[in-house]
A and B are shown apart, each in its own frame.
Chain A
Amino acid sequence: MLFRRIYQFLIVYAIGLSFLMAIKKMAGLSNYVIPGIPLILETAQNVALVFFHDVINTMSVTVLGQCLSIAMAFGVGIAGRKSSWAGSFIKVTAYNVQAYPIVALAPIIFILLGDGFVSRLLIASMICYFPLLLSVLGIMSTPVNDIEHFYQITGRMRWQLEVKIRAFENLSKITTVISGSATLAMAGTIVAEFIAANAGIGYSIRVALYQSDMAKILIALFMIGIIISIYQGLLETLGEKIKRRWSVADKGEI
């Protein structure tokens, strides 16, 4: 799964690069507008290591932000699963706020909190929080009658058990939405860095843009793609392992 993600990305990247080279050739553009392969390789030699560190920097903010938003989404989602006024309020707020492009708030956050780590972390976690919350709310609000019915009837249902049952029965959905939110968090962090940070790969892309250095931008995109492919592959692999471990087929052990 991990290797599939990586070679899928490499194929897409190669196709994109070929398309750019075709435009360069057809329109007779210089290296200033679209760099040739030798210039890209030469630039890669100079900046690949720096950009790799930048991507890891961005990734660390992304992962932390995603972990934070997973914890918040589960906390709020579990609290909001009931049909009480609190639960309804949480659901309505989540649906309405989710429609708003959170990344548009990035400039305000940077003005108030500065352009350091905390601003980027806040934006990364906000970006993926609401989609996660909606999914968790949906999962936790939907009873699994086949299993819960017995516990309801015998009066042995507790909220912890209810949450475990619903999480277990919807494990595929949960791992898919967590894996998907990784891309969202990464995109949000990069956009935030692009707007107003002083570190990370988004910041490096902005500097390259001001210098009209397409070679640097292409290398930055390559680094982002490789790292995010590895990260998503690892998340999916982890999700599969968890599913197999919790599987009934595994001698019924939970």
Chain B
Amino acid sequence: MNIRFFTILILISLMVSPVSHAREKELNYRLKWLFNTSVAGDIWADANGYFTKAGLTVTLKEGSPEKNAINELELGYADFGVASADQVIRALDKGADVKVVAQLFQINPMQWIYRTTQPEIKQLEDLKGRTIGITFGGNDETIMRTLFAKAGITEKDVAIVGVRFDFTPFYTKAVEVWPVYRNSQGVILENRLAKENESVYFFNPADFGVNFVANSIVTSGKMIQRHPGLVTDFLTALLSAWESAMDPDNAASVLAVIKQFETGADDNILRQQLEATRKLVKPASSVKIGTIDRAAWKQTEAIMLREGQIKKPVQIETCLVTAE
């Protein structure tokens, strides 16, 4: 009897959702990538006490390709996270309880870099005959296949090469068109090639009508239901920090904070990365950071449905929550 009672007690305590204790414990915020300029607003918020002023204790956690914020939301390891649209839509397709509360990048940083010694890609058909790098399993693969489908390009018309984080195939010209995040690797490669007197173009899918939504802030439906005030406080603090971090007047201070995490980075490169991030997060002064582009989300869902990445429509518009 006693053993049975204690077993049930232990099982119940293990099953109690950690969300119900959100206010009594630290909030964990899982980012999508490492601490660098693309998470400038998040680092700025943490360093300048934006969360503390809002009465919150937030732990910022670095992301990586192996870490998934949506998994962590469900498992209770994170209360908020950053995920890309394809991650969110895939999760919804599999029944995950995830809501988008803000969209950080208004323009997707996922682009392709290529040398100016090659003809400029002015229309999608110009992709034919090129050796194009894609990260199999990544959202760049989905974007590129959408572009192919849009232009009627088959795999016989191009040479697709699976790539990783090692730039050697691009340096050796084995791969002509290389996927980069415009505001991080794009800047690094552009500068490195400039040292060799080589200039580059950037191929931006958005210029060809493919708007695939990038990093957005997510949380669980349960969190919004049980602690709406907490979600509002967190978002208000975070988005204020992002507005401040993207203010050109604060650039020097923001860079100083980022340098604490990227100790070996070149100042000039960091400055350029921050500038590039600003253009993607706040493309115009009238744009409010965090604005959710519903049309782009619906297009992203349509692309993934067409590519067979999801089995059925997920009604993404019902999961986009505008903060009050």
Decide yes or no whether A161 CB sits under 8 A from chain B.
no
- Residues of A within 8 Å of B164, CB to CB, are 115, 196
In Å, the complex CA distance between A163 and B96 comes to 63
Stretch at the interface among B70-78, B181-189, B241-249, B257-265: B70-78
Decide yes or no whether A210 CB sits under 8 A from chain B.
yes
A-B contact count (CB 8 A): 58
Stretch at the interface among A24-32, A89-97, A123-131, A244-252: A24-32
Is A26 within 8 A of B14, CB to CB?
yes
Decide yes or no whether B90 CB sits under 8 A from chain A.
yes
- Residues of A within 8 Å of B65, CB to CB, are 209-210
Decide yes or no whether B97 CB sits under 8 A from chain A.
yes
Is A35 within 8 A of B94, CB to CB?
yes
Closest to A215 in B: B94
Interface size on B, residues (CB 8 A): 25
Is B75 within 8 A of A212, CB to CB?
no
Which residues, 158 to 174 on B, are CB-close (under 8 Å) to A? Answer: 162, 164, 166, 168
Decide yes or no whether B138 CB sits under 8 A from chain A.
yes
Which residues, 61 to 103 on B, are CB-close (under 8 Å) to A? Answer: 65-66, 68, 70-71, 74-75, 87, 90-91, 94-97
In Å, the complex CA distance between A110 and B166 comes to 10
Please judge, given known A-B contacts A27-B15, A29-B75, whether A212 and B87 are in contact too, CB under 8 Å: yes
Is B168 within 8 A of A32, CB to CB?
no
Is A211 within 8 A of B95, CB to CB?
no
Tell me which of B11, B15, B168 contacts A111 (CB under 8 A): B168
In the complex, per-residue mask of A12-40: 1 if CB is within 8 Å of any chain B CB, else 0:
00000000000000111111110100010
Is A33 within 8 A of B74, CB to CB?
yes
Tell me which of A29, A35, A196, A207 contacts B166 (CB under 8 A): A196
Decide yes or no whether B191 CB sits under 8 A from chain A.
no
Is B90 within 8 A of A211, CB to CB?
yes
Is A212 within 8 A of B70, CB to CB?
yes
Tell me which of A33, A39, A207 contacts B137 (CB under 8 A): A207
Name 16 interchain pairs, CB-CB below 8 A, sorted by A.
A26-B14, A28-B15, A29-B74, A29-B75, A30-B74, A30-B94, A30-B95, A32-B70, A32-B74, A32-B95, A110-B166, A111-B166, A207-B136, A210-B66, A211-B137, A212-B71
- Give residues in A with beta carbon < 8 Å to B: 26-33, 35, 39, 110-111, 115, 196, 198, 206-212
